[in-house]
């Protein structure tokens, strides 16, 4: 599912407003370069983008798009199902080899590792063996 639309940040809006004032000759380019924290040459480039394309001209063309190398969600679901049902006791390297040989699915070991392991961002910090969490 691809989302259409323009994704802009507050920073992009501020840049656009300042550069629009330069295009309308209410501010000088020198004043705006200091406010934006960019060089004079970069401010010239940004001014040209605003003059030519408005706010969408400032935004990178790939913003909001899915990565080109992103795997299909149905492939991920199929691989995870095979991992749980048929190849549950294989490590990532062996599983990758068997997927290529038996199922005709060519994925890297790292992709399989990423898919098989859930995000660990919520884990608690591990403690050293023998240390206690309570201080006397």
pTM of the shown model: 0.51
Q: CA end-to-end span of the chain, whole Å?
A: 56
Name the residue among 71, 81, 67, 75 with its Cα closest to residue 104. Answer: 75
Query: CA-to-CA distance for 129 and 79, rounded, in angstroms?
Result: 37
Q: Tell me the pLDDT tens digit for each residue of 61-97.
A: 777 777 777 888 888 888 989 888 888 888 889 989 9
At CA 128, angle to CA 127 and CA 130, rounded to 5? 115
Query: CA-to-CA distance for 72 and 56, rounded, in angstroms?
Result: 29
Q: Tell me the pLDDT tens digit for each residue of 111-130.
A: 889 888 874 444 455 666 66
């Amino acid at each position: 599912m691809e989302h259409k639309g323009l994704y802009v940040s507050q920073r992009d809006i501020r840049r656009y407003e300042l550069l629009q004032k330069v295009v309308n000759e209410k501010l000088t380019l020198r004043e705006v370069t200091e406010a934006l924290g960019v060089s004079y040459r970069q401010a010239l480039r940004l001014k040209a983008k605003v003059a030519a394309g408005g706010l969408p001209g400032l935004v990178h063309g790939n913003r909001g798009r899915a990565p080109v190398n992103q795997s299909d969600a149905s492939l991920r679901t199929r691989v995870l199902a095979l991992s749980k049902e048929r190849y549950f006791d294989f490590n990532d390297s062996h599983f990758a080899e068997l997927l290529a040989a038996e199922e005709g699915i060519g994925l890297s070991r790292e992709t399989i590792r990423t898919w098989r392991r859930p995000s660990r961002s919520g884990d608690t910090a591990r403690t050293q063996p023998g240390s206690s969490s309570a201080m006397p």
